[in-house]
Structure 1
Amino acid sequence: MVYSYSWIICFFTCTFYLHLGTSQSPVETKFYDILNVSPYSSVDEIKQAYRKLARKVHPDKNKDPKASEEFAELNRVYEVLSDSEKRKRYDRCGESCIKDEKGSGSVDPFSSFFGFHFGDESEQQRETPKGATIVMDVYVTLEELYSGNFIEITRNKPVMKPAKGTRKCNCRQEMTTRQLGPGRFQMLQQTVCDECPNIRLMNEERIIELEVEQGMVDGQETRFVAEGEPHIDGEPGDLIIRIKTLPHKVFERKGDDLYTNVTVSLQDALVGFEMEITHLDGRKVLISRDKITWPGARIRKKGEGMPLYDDNNKRGTMYITFDIEFPKGDLSQEEKEGIKRILNQKSNNHVYNGLRGF
């Protein structure tokens, strides 16, 4: 009778778990609706939908007070649907399975009775291995950061391809039980591996489109999910592209402001001048002075700096510092006297510590 009873338990247990694993459609579609995808979408389709929505609701771009909550919810949904095991649990019994770390809102009666876990729960506790994340610097011009641009990046990426034979994968330690006699059981730990189709890694050329958004700052990162290094037994890592700014011949960026220097002749410095500066988008910015300009004088043009990343309708300030070009050569005595009469300045030589500002 003891052996009959054990066979009944085994039959009931296997039937119970097989029934859970053969569900054809998810009992709940809330997470799929948030991503605007079908419950039968592929992993790539889910990743593309997440990337599109993440850019739209990110708190840095969306000033809605609820943006942070929406972004957090979007990440939670993506974490579930991008993980094969979590997605299976969600499809099987909805959000209630995800809230519990073990993937079930109730205690398994057979686990509590015999003191061990069956295969489904041990699988749920395993984390899906992931390939390495790659960080790559991309150098962009100040013009691109001002106006925005799309850059195509060509990358040779290792891609998994089918190969002959099979391989052991997803190896893990699991507990098994062995019946020693009537009413006696022994728990043993053993290594269990899946038999998976063999694969090989081959380099393929991939084109990645990077959007350089207006107002992005030096060091800002853009993450491409699953575009990193592959993992032979898991999911590929991510690719992070980091913005680096190339030096510019005319402008220096500090925060959202632009700085530049202009050299004018001594004559223009004394009588005034009018000139144009070519901006980063090709526009002409008018600069005029109708009074004396001294070396180191600075003017500012509000709204002519960099566009703000959070709000492209707003811009920083452009600061223009002037240098004076003095004429070369000697002046005649008559010219010197004429300059003295025009300037009408008294000699006021003052020696001081310029570093301390006395």
Structure 2
Amino acid sequence: MYHIKGRGIRVHVEQLAPGMVQQIQTMCSECRGEGQRINPKDRCKPCNGNKVVREKKILEVHIKKGMKDGQKIVFHGEGDQEPGSEPGDVVIVLDQRKHKVFQRQEDNVIMKMEIRLVEALCGFKKTIETMDGRTLLITSYPGEVIKHGHMKSIQNEGMPLQRDPFEKGLLIINFLVVFPDNDWIPTEKLHLLEALLPSREEVMVTDDMDIVELVELDPREQSRHYRGEAYQDDERQRGGVQCQTS
């Protein structure tokens, strides 16, 4: 036996045994819980009485110059629509893609540039390919020493400003000086280089000093050393310290 209880609820009562019945409540399949049933003859053909239809709509997203990662573009009233309720919004969140050369920092752009030691000391000419397809020529003049990690900037070559797309931030260049190999200059000519560079610090050698030798660091040897120390510390923690008594 079926009967309606409340709005859009169908109750099924079934007798299992004398004096024992089972009652099951389900949503009305005809009105889908809304409490209203539309006669099949009066139903709208496009929605078949569901009051909503599915349709595809293309939204054109215009990204302004200078917009940043995580910035939102909102299309008001373009979300799902239902009878008796206000339509929602469609929110587009920008996800900035990483670049292999340039890194964005607010309105500025940072890049790393490797230069050789001779270029750092004697000057250079370098080209930079911008993201919009242009080529920039930068120059470091002789006598202008570029240190490792030194930063220089180029005005108006960064990201466009959102408030004024014709203005741009800075292009910041982080210079990385690449030193030559150990055998880059003959020993007999080192005095020529030393005569051009600032004088080095002289150290007074005394008899109480221990003279040691610098060798190349082997990462594998360093790793074995750390593992050995860790093993000894673990043994001391587990075994404790033995007291020496006579």
TM-score by length of 2: 0.58
Quote how far apart the aligned CAs of 1:207 are.
2.9
Report the Cα distance in structure 2 between the residues aligned to 1:315 and 1:348, rounded to whole angstroms: 50
Please, which of 197, 207, 217 is the counterpart of residue 343 of structure 1? 197
Name the amino acid aligned to 1:224.
Answer: F
State the identity as a percent: 30
1:287-324 superposed Cα distances (whole Å, 9 cap, x missing partner)? 11111111111111111111110111211111111000
Query: In structure 2, what is the equivalent of residue 268 of structure 1?
Result: 119
Q: What pairs with 1:110-121 in structure 2 (closer than 5 Å)?
A: none
Query: In structure 2, what is the equivalent of residue 311 of structure 1?
Result: 164
Report the Cα distance in structure 2 between the residues aligned to 1:302 and 1:289, rounded to whole angstroms: 16
Query: In structure 1, what is the equivalent of residue 67 of structure 2?
Result: 216
The structure-2 alpha-carbon separation of the partners of 1:348 and 1:313, relative to structure 1 and needing over 3 Å to count, comes to: farther
Name the amino acid aligned to 1:340.
Answer: E
Name the amino acid aligned to 1:335.
Answer: K
The structure in which a higher percent of residues are strand is 1
Report the Cα distance in structure 1 between the residues aligned to 2:72 and 2:198, rounded to whole angstroms: 59
1:159-204 superposed Cα distances (whole Å, 9 cap, x missing partner)? xxxxxx98896x8xxxxxxxxxxxxxxxxxxxxx797851276655
Indicate if the aligned counterparts of 1:256 and 1:306 stay in contact, CA closer than 8 A. Answer: yes
Name the amino acid aligned to 1:339.
Answer: L
What value does the CA root-mean-square deviation take over the aligned residues?
A: 2.9
Query: In structure 2, what is the equivalent of residue 328 of structure 1?
Result: 181
Indicate if the aligned counterparts of 2:31 and 2:37 stay in contact, CA closer than 8 A. Answer: no
Indicate if the aligned counterparts of 1:168 and 1:194 stay in contact, CA closer than 8 A. Answer: no
Please, which of 155, 171, 175 is the counterpart of residue 302 of structure 1? 155
Report the Cα distance in structure 1 between the residues aligned to 2:189 and 2:50, rounded to whole angstroms: 89
Quote how far apart the aligned CAs of 1:235 are.
4.1
Report the Cα distance in structure 1 between the residues aligned to 2:59 and 2:189, rounded to whole angstroms: 67
1:15-54 superposed Cα distances (whole Å, 9 cap, x missing partner)? xxxxxxxxxxxxxxxxxxxxxxxxxxxxxxxxxxxxxxxx
1:265-302 superposed Cα distances (whole Å, 9 cap, x missing partner)? 11111100011111111111221111111111111111
Higher mean displacement: 225-234 or 200-209: 200-209
Report SS of the residue matched to 1:268. Answer: helix
Report SS of the residue matched to 1:334. Answer: helix
Indicate if the aligned counterparts of 2:101 and 2:111 stay in contact, CA closer than 8 A. Answer: yes
Report SS of the residue matched to 1:300. Answer: strand
The structure in which a higher percent of residues are helix is 1
Q: What pairs with 1:1-358 in structure 2 (closer than 5 Å)?
A: 198-199=49-50, 204-290=55-141, 291-330=144-183, 331-347=185-201
Gaps of 5+ in 1: 1-164, 172-192, 350-358
- Post-superposition, which runs of at least 4 consecutive aligned residues in structure 1 deviate over 6 A? 165-169, 193-196
Gaps of 5+ in 2: 1-29, 204-246
The structure-2 alpha-carbon separation of the partners of 1:311 and 1:348, relative to structure 1 and needing over 3 Å to count, comes to: farther
Name the amino acid aligned to 2:146.
Answer: T
TM-score by length of 1: 0.41
Quote how far apart the aligned CAs of 1:242 are.
0.8
Indicate if the aligned counterparts of 1:215 and 1:308 stay in contact, CA closer than 8 A. Answer: yes
The structure-2 alpha-carbon separation of the partners of 1:285 and 1:200, relative to structure 1 and needing over 3 Å to count, comes to: same
Report the Cα distance in structure 1 between the residues aligned to 2:84 and 2:201, rounded to whole angstroms: 84
Report the Cα distance in structure 2 between the residues aligned to 1:280 and 1:308, rounded to whole angstroms: 16
Report SS of the residue matched to 2:58. Answer: strand
Report the Cα distance in structure 1 between the residues aligned to 2:196 and 2:53, rounded to whole angstroms: 80
Higher mean displacement: 213-222 or 200-209: 200-209
Quote how far apart the aligned CAs of 1:209 are.
1.8
1:47-70 superposed Cα distances (whole Å, 9 cap, x missing partner)? xxxxxxxxxxxxxxxxxxxxxxxx
Quick check: which has more Rg, 1 or 2?
Answer: 2
